[in-house]
C-alpha cells in the first residue's frame, strides 16, 4: 500500500519537502512559548505565594504531530501558487487547523462517498494526508488523479498497520481497541480488508471486550452480538467463524492500561475455550500504543503522586489522547479538559468537556480561593503557545503577577 511501501518522489512526499529551515521561523511564531521553556528549565514548576502550577514532565506536541505540522507548513512554502487540500483535520487541535485555513489550505468534505469527497481535486493540486492516515479507498482514488500527495501519517500508526496486515495475511481477525468512527481506526481497519479474507472487530472499552470474551467462551447470543458490533466490524463478519484466531492491536492514542487489560482478557478467554497450547497458536498481541501517548499518561500519574488540588488538561475536545489524560486525572482530583486558554473564562467559570459528555459545559466555582496546587498537562496535539497562555491566564485570575523564574 502506498503509505507503507511507496518511496518519496516529486509527486509523493512522505519524508518532508526539503525546506524545513525556511519554515522554522513561522512555526516558532505560531506555537512557541518562552514561558513554557522557562517552566521546563525550572523543574516544570511555577509558584507565587498562593498559586503553584506543576506541569507534567511529558506534554504537548509529540514527534508525529511536530512532523505533520512541519510538513503542512513546508507544503505551503514549497507550492505557494498551487491549491492545497487536506483530507481532514491534520491533528485534533482547532488552533492548528484554523492556522492552516488562514494559510489557504482547503479542507475537503467529510463524506463516505470517495468520488464526491475528492471531486474538487484537479491535476497538479496538492493533497495533504493527515497524521492519522487515510483509508485505502481514499489513497487509491487519489493515486488515480494527477495530483501531488504529501503524506504526514505518523510512524506509530504505520506500525499498527503492519501488525494488522500480518494478522490478515495469516488468517487472524484483528481485534482493534479503539473508536470505530475515529479517522485512525477507520484507516487501520481498511488495511485489514486489503486481504481477501481480512476481518476486523473494533472494541471501544473493556465492557465491549467482555462481550467478545463471552462469545468466545460460548455465552454470547449471535443476533445481539452482530447488532452490537455491526458498525464496528468488517463486512460479513461472522463471530462463529472469525473469533477462532485473533490478533489484538489498538488505536495508538487509547488508554494503554486498558489496551493491555483487553488483550489479556481476550487471551484468557481463548485459553479457557481452547486450552493453553492451542491459544499459543490462535492468539497474537502487540502493544501498539505509541511511546508518546504512554509517556504522557505516565507523566500525569507521576504528577498526581506529587499531590495536586486540581488538574487542567489542554487539548482538542475531539482528541482521543487528551481525553485519556483526563480519564487518568479525574480519578484523583477535580479535572477539567479545556480546548484552549479561552476556555478559562474567569476565576469563577470554566468551559470544559467532562468525560463521556457529548459537548462542553460551563462550570462555576472551579478555581478555589486560598493556596492551590494546579496540575497541568496537554494532549499530543497541543502547542506550547496554548499551554503558556493558560498559565498566564490562571495567574491573572488569581490577581498575581507571573513569577519570574530563575533559569540557567
User: What is the dihedral angle through the alpha carbons of 291, 295, 296, 298, rounded to the nearest 10 degrees?
Assistant: 140
d(CA 46, CA 55): 9
Longest distance between any two alpha carbons in the chain, whole Å: 66
d(CA 399, CA 347): 10
Residue 107: how many CB atoms within 10 A of its CB? 15
DSSP string, 11-51: SEESS--S-HHHHHHHHHHHH--HHHHHHHHTTSEEE-SSE
Q: Position of cell 473493556?
A: 206
**All cell numbers assigned to 10:** 516529486
Q: How far is CA 58 from CA 297, 377, 389, in A?
A: 8, 8, 18
Give catalytic residue positions: 184
Candidates 82, 70, 57, 71; CA nearest to 28 is: 70
- 8-state DSSP, 176: E
**All cell numbers assigned to 267:** 487471551
d(CA 386, CA 114): 35
Can you name the residues that pair with 148 across neighbouring β-strands? 126
- Are 248 and 178 in contact by the 8 Å Cβ rule? The answer is no
d(CA 131, CA 90): 6
- Beta strands at 106-107 and 84-86: parallel, antiparallel or unpaired: parallel
Amino acid at each position: 500500500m502506498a503509505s507503507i511501501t511507496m518511496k518519496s518522489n516529486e509527486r509523493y512526499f512522505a519524508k518532508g519537502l526539503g525546506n524545513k529551515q525556511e519554515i522554522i521561523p513561522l512555526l516558532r511564531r505560531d506555537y512557541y512559548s518562552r514561558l513554557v521553556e522557562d517552566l521546563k528549565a525550572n523543574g516544570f514548576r511555577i509558584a507565587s505565594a498562593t498559586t503553584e502550577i506543576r506541569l507534567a514532565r511529558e506534554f504537548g506536541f509529540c514527534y508525529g504531530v511536530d512532523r505533520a505540522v512541519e510538513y503542512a507548513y513546508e507544503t505551503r512554502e514549497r507550492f505557494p501558487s498551487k491549491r492545497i487540500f487536506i483530507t481532514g483535520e491534520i491533528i485534533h487541535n482547532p488552533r492548528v487547523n484554523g492556522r492552516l485555513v488562514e494559510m489557504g489550505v482547503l479542507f475537503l468534505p467529510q463524506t463516505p462517498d470517495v468520488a464526491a469527497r475528492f471531486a474538487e481535486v484537479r491535476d497538479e493540486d496538492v493533497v495533504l494526508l493527515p497524521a492519522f492516515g487515510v483509508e485505502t479507498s481514499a489513497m487509491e482514488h487519489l493515486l488515480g488523479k494527477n495530483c501531488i500527495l504529501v503524506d504526514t501519517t505518523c510512524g506509530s500508526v504505520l506500525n499498527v498497520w503492519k501488525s494488522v496486515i500480518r494478522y490478515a495475511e495469516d488468517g487472524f481477525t484483528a481485534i482493534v481497541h479503539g473508536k470505530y468512527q475515529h479517522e485512525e481506526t477507520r484507516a487501520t481497519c481498511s488495511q485489514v480488508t486489503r486481504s481477501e479474507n481480512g476481518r476486523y472487530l473494533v472494541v471501544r472499552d473493556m465492557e465491549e471486550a467482555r462481550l467478545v470474551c463471552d462469545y468466545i467462551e460460548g455465552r454470547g447470543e449471535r443476533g445481539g452480538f452482530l447488532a452490537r458490533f455491526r458498525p464496528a466490524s468488517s463486512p460479513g463478519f461472522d463471530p462463529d467463524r472469525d473469533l477462532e484466531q485473533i490478533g489484538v492491536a489498538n488505536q495508538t492514542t487509547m488508554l494503554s492500561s486498558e489496551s493491555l487489560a483487553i488483550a489479556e482478557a481476550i487471551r484468557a478467554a481463548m485459553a479457557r475455550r481452547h486450552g493453553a497450547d492451542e491459544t499459543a497458536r490462535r492468539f497474537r498481541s502487540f502493544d501498539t500504543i505509541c511511546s508518546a501517548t504512554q509517556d504522557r499518561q505516565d507523566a500525569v500519574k507521576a504528577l498526581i503522586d506529587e499531590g495536586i488540588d486540581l488538574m487542567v488538561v489542554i487539548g482538542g475536545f475531539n482528541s482521543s489522547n487528551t481525553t485519556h489524560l483526563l480519564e487518568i486525572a479525574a480519578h484523583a482530583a477535580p479535572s477539567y479538559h479545556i480546548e484552549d486558554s479561552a476556555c478559562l473564562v474567569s476565576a469563577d467559570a470554566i468551559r470544559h468537556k467532562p468525560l463521556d459528555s457529548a459537548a462542553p459545559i460551563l462550570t462555576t466555582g472551579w478555581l478555589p480561593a486560598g493556596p492551590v496546587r494546579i496540575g497541568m498537562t496537554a494532549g499530543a496535539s497541543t502547542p506550547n503557545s496554548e499551554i503558556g497562555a493558560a498559565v498566564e491566564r490562571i495567574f491573572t485570575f488569581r490577581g498575581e503577577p507571573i513569577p519570574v523564574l530563575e533559569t540557567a
